[in-house]
Amino acid sequence: MNSQSFSDSRPIAVILARHLAIVSVFNLMSAVLVTYALRAGHGFFENLAFSMCIGTLALLLIDGGRLLMWRRGMPPRLPFIVLVAVAMPAAKFLGDAIAIWMLGLPPGDTTAYSARNSGGMMILTLLCGAAISWFFWNKSQVAILKASFEAEKARAAAIEKQAMHAQLQMLQAQVEPHMLFNTLANLQGLIALDPQRAQHMLDQLIQYLRATLSSSRSQQTSLEQEFSLLEAYLGLMAVRMGARLSYALQLPETLRKTTIPPMLLQPLVENAIRHGLEPKVGGGHIEVRAVQAGDALELNVSDTGLGLDSPRQQPGTRLGLTSIRERLLALYAGQASFSLVPNTPEGVCTQIRIPL
C-alpha cells in the first residue's frame, strides 16, 4: 500500500457504517462455512455470534484505527501490518468474551470455553481476518486504480485541449491573412486609379485592423462584437465598390451578448463579396442575420451575387469556408452544421448552426 488518498468524501461515520454492513456479510458466510462445511463449534447461531463479535471488533479496530491515524489516506504498508497484527488478537479475545456473555455462558468459563472450541474459533478468526484484509486490499487497489484513471483522464483531456487550441489558432491564423491579402491587393490596384479614394480606403483598413486584431486572437467573442467588426469590414468594402454594394445586418437585442468563436462570419461575408458580388457587373446586396431556433443559434449570410455555378466567379482556394468547417468540427464535435445553398432568385445562402 502507499499514501495515495481515497476519493471517498463522505463522513467517516458513513464510511464505517458501510464497511460494517459489508463485513457483516463476510461474518455470516464465515459462520455458515464453519458450521456446515467444517462441522466446528456448537451450532450455527453460536458460531454466528462469535463470528459477528470477532469480525465487528476487528473491523472497528482496523478500519477505525486506520481512519483515526491516517484519515482518508492510504496507510503505509508496515504500520498497517502492525495495526492488523495487534487488532486481530484483541478482536479475538474481546469477541470471545462478548459472545460468551451474549450466549449466556458462565462469565468465568471464558478461558475454558475458548480452549474447548479453539479449533472452530481459530478458523472463525482466520476467516474474519482474511475477509477484512481482502476487503481493505481490494478497496485500496480500486482506490489506486481509480485515482490513476482520473489522473490519466485529466492528463488526456489537458493534452486534447492543448491540441485543439493549437489547431484552432492555426485555422484562425489562416483566415486573417486571407482577408488582409485580398484587401491589400485591391488597395494596390486602386492607388493607381484613384489615389484619394485609395487613401480613404487605407484609413478604413487601419481602423478595421485596430478593431479586429485584438479580438480575433481571443477564443470567444460576442455577437455584438462580431457584427461590429462586420460593419467595419463592409464599410471598408463599400469604399472600394461604391454604389455596387449594399448591405444589412440584423442582430436581435436578445442575442447581442451571445458568445461565439471569433472570425466565423467574416470569411462568409468575404467569400460572398469576392466570389459573388464583386465579379457581378451591377454588384448586389448582402445580408447577415442571427436568429435563435430552439436551442440553437443560426447565423445566415445571403447575397444576390453570381451564385454557386457561375463561370464568372473569381477563382480561389475557398480557404475561409474550409477553415470554418474544420473549426466547427473541432469546437462542437459534430453538434454544429454548415450549409451552402443557392439563394432565390440569385446568389448564395450560407448558414452556420451551433448549439446555444
pLDDT of residue 32: 77
> Helices 12-32 and 44-70 sit at what angle, rounded to 10 degrees?
150
Q: How confident is the model at residue 57 (pLDDT cuts 50, 70, 90)?
A: confident
Strand, helix or coil at 299? strand
CA–CA separation, 240 and 242 (whole Å): 6
Neighbours of 335 (CB within 10 A): 12
- CATH of 194-355, picked from 3.30.565.10, 3.30.70.20, 4.10.780.10, 3.20.20.370, is 3.30.565.10
pLDDT in tens, 60-80: 887 777 777 776 666 676 877
pLDDT in tens, 133-157: 566 556 656 666 676 777 777 777 6
Maximum pairwise Cα distance, the chain: 119
Across residues 42-60, what is the average pLDDT?
A: 79
pLDDT in tens, 191-217: 888 888 788 878 878 877 776 665 555
pLDDT in tens, 220-244: 788 998 898 888 888 888 877 888 9
pLDDT of residue 83: 77
User: Across the chain, what does the average pLDDT equal?
Assistant: 75
User: Strands, E, within the chain: which ranges?
Assistant: 221-222, 245-250, 259-260, 284-293, 296-303, 337-342, 348-355
pLDDT in tens, 100-143: 788 777 665 555 555 545 555 555 556 656 666 566 556 656 66
Whether the pLDDT of residue 15 is over 90: the answer is no
The domains of the chain are located at 12-153, 194-355
For 39-103, where are the alpha helices, taking DSSP H only?
44-70, 77-102
Render the burial of 254-277: b for 16+ CB within 10 Å, e for the rest.
Answer: ebeebebbbbbbbbbbbbbbbbbb
Whether the pLDDT of residue 82 is over 60: the answer is yes
